[in-house]
A and B are shown apart, each in its own frame.
Chain A
């Protein structure tokens, strides 16, 4: 079809950057570029949901067992209309190089073996799937019926959260790419600490961008990052918080793209980050499937995870997206309430726009300016959300709800007292949702909550509010 050939040319040029005579290209990419038929200076970009040349996007292709097969993302880096690569031209090459490296290393057995070894011996995987007996008892109804609650213990990982799965893999990837310098942004410091940790482990130079306001509130985390050998740079622009730190980090990357790899902490950002970060966290879901089979001979019925950027949720959900009998529930931060204007419930209250390189739901005002979100938990305090979550929401495959600060604090206290595990305030949001959903679940339903992090870092905040 004529239009197909047209698209072919278009697709190829969208995947590869327009060659600039002064920039250096690996030779195989130049070869590929010669397939282009159109004049380099007159390439037209258009958003399209049509199948691409390289990999077809079949949103509802049925497989033999009737489950729906979703191709996520397509070769554009899109999940439906979300995602993409809205970045300055100087970064396009780096992103493509990253994507190629990622695909090459995914198939590389040595790399996979090395990564598996590090996840096992350094990070401490596999993390257990823990049957929360007292929590299950707590949710039993008067007649003794209720769901069975399991916790996927990402809090037991080295550094105390799921973040390290991605940090470790990206650091290893950067090393294979020959990059010696790593940059990252951080809000409360968790992702910064995880990045500083892996840089120390792999002997890489590490620079962390952090909003000046955040640095003041999290002095101990700043000290920790420095202890691990990282340089922490204060960002004073804007509101001096996470979104400004992210912008600064992107600016640094644009300037130093040849020597530097940017470890993005979540499934947000330009393609290939959402896909890469999801793949690196997908180990969570893979282990869960295996452990569920071992423990009760079946699959989970409901998966619950908190959503800030969405990485821990994608890590758990991804394995089960094609299993239509598994319910996927994401829980965002409602802060003071979704109608208060002080929250971070992007998928509930946001509108579609472009932030940090990707099209996704985000919290913006009428002029398209980013609204400063609020949540008691710093990790959920992000005005955007990963594009894949936006896609799953629109598709109706996953449900998204929100929990207020107060409800999260209650859950924090409840789980600490009932199970002796102190959850991170982020995780507490997912745990708080149990209050709402358990009464509706039939007897014996298997619920798996992603226990994404431990709460040691939140003790000061919690004590202040709970008056313990």
Chain B
């Protein structure tokens, strides 16, 4: 069978990759010793301490040799990404990759997806000129300032950009003959999108969610259950839910499809998610051309794991005159240690199957991240974003909980749009960004979700009590 050969090629290149690293990096061969082929709780959680300490961050981009498989993407973004999974899963991932490639080339699938995105999800989402928000900043600077546009992913069905990916991957799951979909969710948005897509396609759905997230995003939990999906509680944080989902998937590979919500994980997951989210950027380009006859000067998005950011950025990566700015969660402040800023303060390691920046302590143990926004609470980040950071193509900064809350309130009062706390981080950075931009520059902020789910959090923070 073709895929067996494929498997052989992949397996050998997999070890070749390791070998390459050893040769070119000069990193110790301890790498080969430490990576375990068997999946256990320990192997998924334990980092590779020697790897991170001995690994000297390189400014050079490592080019992998072209691999003899029919994918354009080798799964590596520079030195980031890859497929660090036990051997048993490699075959599965290859099969997934094959289906993904086939789906991309299949006209019928693309047409079906396009119709579903239009009629079910409600695309295209508008590029909205936030006049009052722009005025607000202009009024602080003699009437001069950028024009701020919001890409309204909050208007998508289920209220966030997550649906773009959940729908497409559910359709692939159906094509593959899987009967059940399993996934993990932080804020609940991805779980909700997956549950909705599964209901539409008639698939079973199991969603893993951390106990504390279930509590603070309880409205989403109720919605997920109403859609007929199972919700499984996991102790810990989103990263633990993600690990559990992975484990559940491995339990029945024939029947289950593991639907990644974000651009993390082993290849082909980051590439798949980015591909399906890239519709955001594609639409933005067309809409920008219609509205002001040009490209955006700056695009801003919040970064939890990176799906909405990549969805917006990807289209403009080759346009060097477009600045890409990602905003991570500063939580209670970077000094406090309670934050989720993987790209700003993290170090490179292997997490959930890929090489990427992540938050880890001196023993290589993953730090429990914190943010007021559940969807930003992930100690890692998508490998493609790690690559964009290291190559200098994208800039990454931080907004803390307070700043996000203020931005949330500001958008409500000025534009009547309630952003999600995640999107509020992207909006918060405007305070610092706008004074540096020249008059009339075009800023597009990805309003990645609506904030109805966060009203209770904001309410409980008591920040908006009546005087």
Contact = CB atoms under 8 A, between A and B. Distances in A.
Given A124-B122, A128-B118, 14 more contacts: A122-B126, A128-B119, A128-B122, A153-B122, A156-B122, A156-B156, A156-B157, A197-B416, A223-B464, A227-B409, A227-B458, A229-B413, A417-B228, A460-B222
A466 B413 CA distance: 36
Contact of B202 (A134, A157, A200, A224): A134
A130 B157 CA distance: 12
B416 A198 contact: yes
Interface in B182-211: 195-200, 202
A141 interface: no
A459 B418 contact: no
Contacts of A130: 119-120
Interface in B64-113: none
Interface string B409-426: 100111111100000000
B169 to A, nearest CB: 14
B19 to A, nearest CB: 46
A297 B391 CA distance: 52
A336 interface: no
A228 B226 contact: no
A425 to B, nearest CB: 12
Contacts of B196: 420-421
Nearest to B150: A121
B443 to A, nearest CB: 16
Given A128-B120, A156-B155, A226 B416 contact: no
Interface string B200-235: 101000000000000000010011011110000000
B125 interface: yes
A124 B200 contact: no
Contacts of B200: 133-134, 419-421
A268 interface: no
A interface majority secondary structure:
helix
Interface stretch (B127-135, B269-277, B301-309, B320-328): B127-135
Given A158-B155, A197-B416, A227-B418, A422 B119 contact: no
Given A124-B152, A200-B415, A420-B200, A456 B219 contact: yes
A413 interface: yes
B456 interface: yes
Contact of A420 (B128, B129, B152, B198): B198
B23 interface: no
Contacts of B416: 196-201, 228
Interface string B148-165: 000010111100000000
B32 interface: no
B114 interface: no
Interface string A403-421: 0000000000100111111
22 contacts: A120-B126, A121-B126, A122-B128, A124-B125, A124-B155, A131-B119, A134-B200, A156-B122, A196-B416, A201-B416, A223-B459, A224-B418, A227-B418, A227-B464, A228-B418, A416-B199, A420-B195, A420-B196, A420-B197, A422-B226, A422-B227, A459-B226
Interface in A416-468: 416-422, 455-456, 459-460, 462-463, 466, 468
A331 to B, nearest CB: 22
A201 B132 CA distance: 7
A198 B200 CA distance: 33
Nearest to A167: B416
Given A124-B155, A229-B412, A468 B225 contact: yes
A459 B129 CA distance: 32
Interface in B393-419: 409, 412-418
A157 B415 CA distance: 15
Contacts of B318: none
Contact of A203 (B120, B132, B195, B227): B132
Given A201-B415, A224-B455, A462 B128 contact: no
Nearest to B163: A420
Nearest to B132: A203
Nearest to A129: B119
Contacts of A402: none
A124 B126 contact: yes
A158 B154 CA distance: 8
Contacts of A197: 416-417
B225 A200 contact: no
A390 interface: no
A82 to B, nearest CB: 34
A456 B223 contact: yes
B409 A422 contact: no
Interface of B: 118-120, 122, 125-129, 132, 152, 154-157, 195-200, 202, 219, 222-223, 225-228, 409, 412-418, 452, 455-456, 458-459, 464, 466
Nearest to B219: A459
B interface majority secondary structure:
helix
Contacts of B458: 227
B195 A459 contact: no
A422 B223 contact: yes
A124 B124 CA distance: 9
Contacts of A229: 412-413
Nearest to B193: A420
The 9 closest A-B pairs by CB, nearest first: A420-B199, A420-B196, A200-B416, A197-B416, A156-B122, A201-B416, A124-B155, A420-B200, A128-B119
A170 interface: no
Nearest to A419: B200
A364 interface: no
A220 interface: yes
B50 to A, nearest CB: 46
A266 interface: no
A309 B412 CA distance: 28
Nearest to A119: B126
Most buried by A among B156, B195, B197, B200: B200
A417 B466 contact: no
Contacts of B118: 128
Nearest to A150: B119
B466 A459 contact: no
A463 B231 CA distance: 15
Contact of B199 (A124, A157, A417, A460): A417
A122 B128 CA distance: 6
Contacts of B226: 413, 416, 422, 455, 459, 462-463, 466, 468
Contacts of A186: none
A127 interface: yes
Interface string A175-197: 00000000000000000000011
Nearest to A151: B119
Contacts of A158: 152, 154-155, 417
Contacts of B129: 121
Most buried by B among A120, A418, A456, A463: A456
Nearest to A158: B155
A209 B196 CA distance: 35
A219 to B, nearest CB: 9
Interface string A227-261: 11100000000000000000000000000000000
Contacts of A121: 126-129, 152
A33 B114 CA distance: 59
Contacts of A157: 155
A459 B222 contact: yes
B118 to A, nearest CB: 6
A419 B201 CA distance: 8
A382 B413 CA distance: 30
Given A158-B155, A158-B417, A227 B455 contact: yes
A403 B278 CA distance: 43
A134 B198 CA distance: 12
Contacts of B223: 422, 456, 459
A263 to B, nearest CB: 13
Nearest to B226: A416
